[in-house]
Amino acid sequence: MRKKLSVLLVVLFVLLSVGVVSAAEYTIKVGNTQPMGHIYNQGLLRFKELVEDRSNGEIEVQIFPSSQLGDERDLVEGLQLGTVQMALSSTGPLGGFVTEIMVLDLPYLFKNRAHAYSVLDGEIGQELSKGFVDAGIRNLGYWENGWRNITNSVRPIYEPEDLNGIKIRVMESKLMLASLEAMGASPLPMAFSEVYTALEQGTIDAQENPLAVIYSNNFAEVQEYLSMTQHFYNPALLLISESFYSSLPEDYKEIVRKSASEAKEYERYLSILADERLLGKLQEEGMEVNSVDKDAFVEATKSVYDENAKMIGEGDKEAGLELMNKIQ
Ligand code: EAX
């Protein structure tokens, strides 16, 4: 009898230590598409630390990087089904769930980071977040993916004309697709986990992403030119499944919200650092970096605003235009 008991205890100990069963009362699986070294996961590690500390281990946070739980669209569907508790996703695929959020995918929408933060952390950001609850999701805050720049393996891009004939992967966002089309490129929507291979095999010539993504996914191995278009400021939303969130007691909800907000500040700081430090690193890795004629890109993509106002206003073009104006 004693022997059986000790065997059971050993088995339980092993299961606990490999995380098959958890001592915690609540387990949060949080997924994203980026590798562990990327700013998303550095920010999520801070979130994990804060939540586990403040809940005395009663809430456990498990981080799943590199699309291990699926790409962003799969993750958001997982939140709705309740199979995934949290996800960090850029706005790209979110317009498929909440139409209005697509307004954040407009090219050259924000003047600078301070402008973006004041809109996202203010009234407009809150209004946009409300739309998610009906979709079974809650937005815990706007983290940062960053300013997106074009890389390709054909030629340096100085002005929109240089994009003619270039096959570029875009996120699954109607507005992003329309924007790259307006620039003169041939855009192709694709999930993130397929991008490296598609570049390597030459199915596509180009992709666009912030420096932190380009660097931590080793895109310099398969891309020669980096052109600093900064055409989208791309926020990332820290999302939680609404059914999971509402199952938490009030004090745990508060811990999750507060920790998310503090980790956001840290992640944004890491994103600023990344932009400062990674350009040189990417050059060291052999990328040829160039600046672009930004005015020409702004001009080329102006039509995207008017053409998509009706969609963003959910059938009401004036409402769509008003929202765009308010942000700008
Ligand atoms: O949210 O798919 C992308 O290009 C994104 O930048 C990435 O998934 C980060």
Reported as a single tens digit per residue, the pLDDT across 232-255 is 999 999 999 999 999 999 999 999
Q: Which residues of 200-212 are buried (b: 16+ CB within 10 A; e: fewer)?
A: eeeebbbbbbbbb
Contacts of 123 (CB under 8 A, 6+ apart): none
pLDDT in the model for residue 23:
82
Please say if the pLDDT value at position 179 is more than 70.
yes
Q: Nearest to residue 183, comparing CAs of 84, 103, 299, 47?
A: 299
Helices (H) and strands (E) counted in the chain, each on its own, are 13, 9
pLDDT in the model for residue 1:
55
Q: What is the mean pLDDT of residues 282-302?
A: 98
Q: What is the mean pLDDT of residues 24-50?
A: 98
Residue 20 CA to ligand 1 centre (angstroms): 30
Tens of pLDDT along 190-215?
Answer: 999 999 999 999 999 999 999 999 99
Q: What is the mean pLDDT of residues 48-75?
A: 98
pLDDT in the model for residue 15:
57
Residue 260 CA to ligand 1 centre (angstroms): 20
């005015």: which residue's tokens?
A: 295
- Residue located nearest, by CA, to atom 2 of ligand 1: 192
Q: Which atom of ligand 1 is nearest to the CA of 192?
A: 2
Residue 272 CA to ligand 1 centre (angstroms): 17
Please say if the pLDDT value at position 17 is more than 80.
no
Any ligand 1 atom below 6 A from CB of 171: yes
Pocket test for ligand 1, best of 75, 143, 171 (most atoms within 8 A of CB): 171
Residue 33 CA to ligand 1 centre (angstroms): 7
- Residue located nearest, by CA, to atom 1 of ligand 1: 90
pLDDT in the model for residue 279:
98
Tens of pLDDT along 295-307?
Answer: 999 999 999 999 9
- Residue located nearest, by CA, to atom 9 of ligand 1: 90
Residue 90 CA to ligand 1 centre (angstroms): 6
pLDDT in the model for residue 12:
58
Pocket test for ligand 1, best of 32, 42, 75, 90 (most atoms within 8 A of CB): 90
Q: What is the mean pLDDT of residues 180-198?
A: 98
Any ligand 1 atom below 6 A from CB of 192: yes
Please say if the pLDDT value at position 264 is more than 70.
yes
Contacts of 45 (CB under 8 A, 6+ apart): 63
Q: pTM higher than 0.90 for the full model? A: yes
Any ligand 1 atom below 6 A from CB of 40: no
pLDDT in the model for residue 14:
58
Q: Give the bridge partners for 60, in sequence order.
A: 27
